Structure 1
C-alpha cells in the first residue's frame, strides 16, 4: 500500500474532514481514503468480462486486414532407425 502526505492543508478543511469522518464512524484517514476511492475509482470500477475486453480490443478488425502468411514446406521428420 502506498502512503501520501498532504502539506499546507487549511485548518477548516481538516476540521471538516474530522467532522465528516466522525459522522461516518471512522478515522480521518479512512474518510480521506473513501473520498479518494469515490473520486478516482469510478473510472476503474467498470467490471467487464475477459471475453468483452477481447471483443472490444478486436472490434475494428476485419478479415481483410489480417495478413495471411505464406505456406511453408513442412520439415522432414527425423528417422530414428539409422545408427
Structure 2
C-alpha cells in the first residue's frame, strides 16, 4: 500500500478530521481513507464533461445527423499571414 504526506494542512481542518474520526470510531488515517474513497467514487461515476452533458440531456432524445464523407485530408491552419 502507498502512503502520502499532506503538508500545510489548516489546523481547523485537522481538528475537524480528528473530531469526525472520533465520532465515527476511526483513527484519523482511517477517516481520511474513507473520505478520499467516497470522494473519488463519486468522481468516477460522474465521468467527464461530455458524459455528464450526454447524461443530462439523454431524456430529451437524440438527433441523427447526415455527415458528409470527407473527400480531402484535413490540413493544418496557416497563421503566417
The normalised TM-score by structure 2 is: 0.51
Partner of 1:27: 27
1:29-63 CA-partner distances (Å, limit 9, x unpaired) = 0000000000012427xxxxxxxxxxxxxxxxxxx
Instruction: Work out which of the two has the higher radius of gyration on C-alpha atoms and give 1 or 2.
Output: 1
Partner of 1:37: 37
Figure out how many residues of one structure are paired with residues of the other and give that number. Answer: 44
Give 5+ residue unaligned stretches, structure 2. 46-81
CA deviation after TM superposition for structure 1 residue 23, in Å: 0.5
| RMSD (CA atoms) | 1.2
Give 5+ residue unaligned stretches, structure 1. 45-83
The normalised TM-score by structure 1 is: 0.50
Q: Which runs of 4+ in 1 moved over 3 A?
A: none
